[in-house]
Each structure stands twice: as C-alpha cells, then as structure tokens.
Amino acid sequence: MSEALFEAIVGRYLRLDLLGKPHRLYVEEAGQGIPLLCLHTAGADSRQYRHLMTDEAITKHFRVVAFDLPYHGRSNPPDRWWLEKYRLTTKAYLDFIRAVWQALALDRPVVVGCSMGGAIVLKLAADYQHELRGIIGVESSAFAPGRYNDYLHHPAIHGSELVASYTFGLCAPNSPETSRRENWWYYSQSGPGVYAGDVHYYSNDWDGREDIKTIDTSVCKVSLLTGEYDYSCTPDMTRAVAAAILGSRLVIMNRMGHFPMVENYPLFREFLLPELDFMATT
C-alpha cells in the first residue's frame, strides 16, 4: 500500500457579507510570510494557482491565498441567485477582493491577477495603493472592448464547451497539452452564464485608462507580465499600461500564452520569481 501524500494547501469556507448579501466563499492557502493574494481568470477558479501554491520557493517566503469568486468553482452563488442574471461589475469585483483581504487580515498584501484579474489589480492599485505592497498584473489591460457576444450564454450552444475550447486556443502552442487540457477542464465546469457575466465586466464595464495614471509605484509596486502569444490581452495592450504607470516593470514572456500559471508553470515561474523578489524588498 502506497503512502498517502497530502499537498500543503489548506482549503476552508469563509462566510461573509458581500454587497449586502451573505456569501459562502471557498478560500485556500499555503505557506507563510508576506501575503500573496491570487485572483483567477474569468469563468474559472483558484485551481489555476495550484502549482504556485505548492512551489516551496514561493511558500517559504509568502502566505499564498487564493479564493473562488461567488458563482465560481467551489464558492456558492448568493441566496436566491436564480432571480437575477449574473453580471460582474468593476465596483462589485473591487468590493469582493477587498472584503476577502480584510476578513483574512492580510496586511499590505501583494495581489496577483490574470486576465480579468490582471485588469482589476490595476484598479486596486489606483484606489487602495496605500493598503497594498504591490500588484503583479498577468495579462493586464486597461481597456479590452469587443470580447462579449451573445453566444457566451445561448440556449443553442453548449456554453461550457464553447468557453473551454475558446480559452484553450489562448494558450501558447508550445505549452504542454496536459496543462492546456487542465485549464480546459476547469473552464468546462463553469456554471451557465458565469463566463458571460465575467466578460460583461472585462469588456463592457472596465476602463482603467485614466485610473492607472494615479498609481504611485513608490507606494505600491507594479509588475506586468504578458505572454507573447496572448491575442486577448496583447503585448501591446500591456505596453500601453506600462507606459501610463511611471516606475512599473514590464516583461513580455517568450513562449507563453494567456494562462501562464496553469498552462506552463515551470516556464512561468522563471518570470514570476524575480518579480516576487522585487515585491519582497522594502
């Protein structure tokens, strides 16, 4: 009989009020040290960060925390969720994230987010920079119109397979197929209309082009990492963000696509570790 091997990740359910409604959120963490709060992509969940959360080079210096947004992964929708269509907004997204770090007493966390998470970290840094140590925007854009379409939630379309297959194409061609399929699997489990509701925020509601100009990198450090194969948040879109934030650090990641932390973690960590070292310095 083989020995049971447990990973160091610990998961719990957090009950708190969000936007005036009681919620039950799934939160997991590993490690100790500087708080590192991880934000998943649209329509997915915090399983995307499982490789990062088991990387001892990170967890020996950082308390890594990841959570599933309401409606996502292992988090429940709010009570009587069926009476309204899910539509994420910039304000609601900000409130969710800040409520979690306050409930967990994360003191000046570093916040890393990818895709829609890479967008909202820019707004977090603009509005709450004095409460943060820094942000790491992965595939970050300040404005991304044109991503929403009615087929993201349509009775004639198998929504979860559509979304999973679309996002599969956003991975770099050199990323291992097993890892790309892992991300496909996470996306295939998204609830009806959840990805569409997230894209409503990302493509219809989000515009941070003026907000990012107020970020002071002497107060809140900013690192930006974007894959060269990303055609949703293109390298040029992130270059525009970097140009607007004086003192930000920009890396265009060779051989990487839109989901670095899950599609090819061994390669991604080569780009991530220097930015975490930068965040850890006073």
pLDDT of residue 162: 85
Q: Where are the domains of the chain?
A: 10-280
Supply the DSSP string of 230-273, one letter for each residue.
Answer: -SSS-HHHHHHHHHHSTT-EEEEETT--S-HHHH-HHHHHHHHH
pLDDT of residue 217: 98
Are the beta carbons of 147 and 199 closer than 8 angstroms? yes
Cα distance between the two ends of the chain: 48
Question: Domain 10-280 is of which CATH architecture?
Answer: 3-Layer(aba) Sandwich (3.40)
pLDDT of residue 134: 98
pTM of the model: 0.95
Beta partners for 251?
225
- Per-residue pLDDT tens listing for the chain (282 residues): 778 899 999 999 999 999 899 999 999 999 999 999 999 999 999 999 999 999 999 999 999 999 999 999 999 999 999 999 999 999 999 999 999 999 999 999 999 999 999 999 999 999 999 999 999 999 999 999 888 878 777 777 777 888 888 899 999 999 999 999 999 999 999 999 999 999 999 999 999 999 999 999 999 999 999 999 999 999 999 999 999 999 999 999 999 999 999 999 999 999 999 999 999 997
pLDDT of residue 4: 87
pLDDT of residue 108: 97
pLDDT of residue 23: 96
Structure tokens at 220: 């809140």
Sequence-distant (≥ 6) Cβ neighbours of residue 40 within 8 angstroms = 46, 47, 48, 49, 66, 68, 69, 72, 73, 114, 117
Are the beta carbons of 125 and 135 closer than 8 angstroms? yes
Residue tagged 């894959």 (tokens)? 227
pLDDT of residue 194: 94
Supply the DSSP string of 130-167, one letter for each residue.
Answer: GG-SEEEEES--SB-TT---GGGS-TTS-HHHHHHHHH
pLDDT of residue 164: 87
Sequence-distant (≥ 6) Cβ neighbours of residue 273 within 8 angstroms = 57, 58
pLDDT of residue 122: 98
pLDDT of residue 153: 79
Would you mind telling me the total number of residues written for the chain in this entry? 282
